[in-house]
């Protein structure tokens, strides 16, 4: 899915050829073409370890495990990103419905969608429904003490 809405310049900008060389075909389809992995197939859907979730394309820290919750929707769910400046939210009216797409602010890779008002009882009443294939996970014991600058 190609989008025409304008985004601010991405701190990490690469050509399609560079992204294709760095990502698997499945990763490219989701991260760069706004695809979606099948529900209940991602490696982090049922992950309950303590740690950090990063953008698979650029490594930016996006979510922490203490913000993850079991929504039973088939994809990892978070009630908030690490910080609002780590993601971009934009309107997505594809597929005949209104949704809000979530992108990595550092490289503009597609992560998933955010939904509000579903009644999960989380502190924000939001569900960031994120594709596992858009993320990498670091156990807390192996994660660095501080996150590098998002555009590093």
Contact in structure between 11 and 37 (CB atoms under 8 Å): no
Q: Indicate the pTM of the whole model.
A: 0.86
Catalytic residues: 129
Looking at residue 62, its pLDDT comes to: 96
Q: Which domain holds residue 77?
A: 16-139
Instruction: State the total domains in the chain.
Output: 1
With respect to residue 9, please indicate whether it lies within any of the assigned structural domains. Answer: no
Looking at residue 141, its pLDDT comes to: 76
Per-residue pLDDT of the chain (152 residues; tens, 9 = 90+): 334 467 888 899 899 999 999 999 999 999 999 999 999 999 999 999 999 999 999 999 999 999 999 999 999 999 999 877 899 999 887 777 788 999 999 999 999 999 999 999 999 999 999 999 999 999 987 755 555 555 54
- The CATH number of whichever domain residue 39 belongs to comes to 2.170.150.20
Say which residues have a Cβ less than 8 Å from residue 25's Cβ, sequence separation at least 6.
Answer: none
Looking at residue 98, its pLDDT comes to: 85
Where does the chain have alpha helices with state H? 16-22, 25-31
> At CB < 8 A and 24+ separation, what contacts does 59-65 make?
59/136, 59/148, 60/86, 60/104, 60/105, 60/106, 60/107, 60/147, 60/150, 61/86, 61/147, 62/86, 62/87, 62/104, 62/111, 62/135, 63/128, 63/130, 63/135, 65/140
């Amino acid at each position: 899915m190609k989008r025409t809405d304008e985004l601010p310049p991405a701190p990490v900008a690469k050509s399609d050829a560079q992204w294709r060389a760095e990502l698997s075909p499945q990763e490219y389809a989701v991260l760069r073409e706004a695809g979606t992995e099948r529900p209940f197939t991602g490696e982090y859907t049922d992950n309950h370890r303590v740690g950090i979730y990063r953008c698979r394309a650029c490594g930016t820290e996006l979510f922490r495990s203490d913000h993850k919750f079991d929504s039973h929707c088939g994809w990892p769910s978070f009630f908030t990103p690490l910080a609002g400046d780590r993601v971009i939210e934009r309107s997505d009216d594809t597929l005949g419905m209104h949704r809000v797409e979530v992108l990595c602010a550092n490289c503009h890779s597609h992560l998933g969608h955010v939904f509000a008002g579903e009644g999960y009882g989380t502190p924000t009443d939001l569900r960031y429904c994120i594709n596992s294939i858009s993320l990498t996970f670091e156990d807390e014991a192996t994660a660095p003490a501080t996150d590098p600058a998002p555009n590093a």
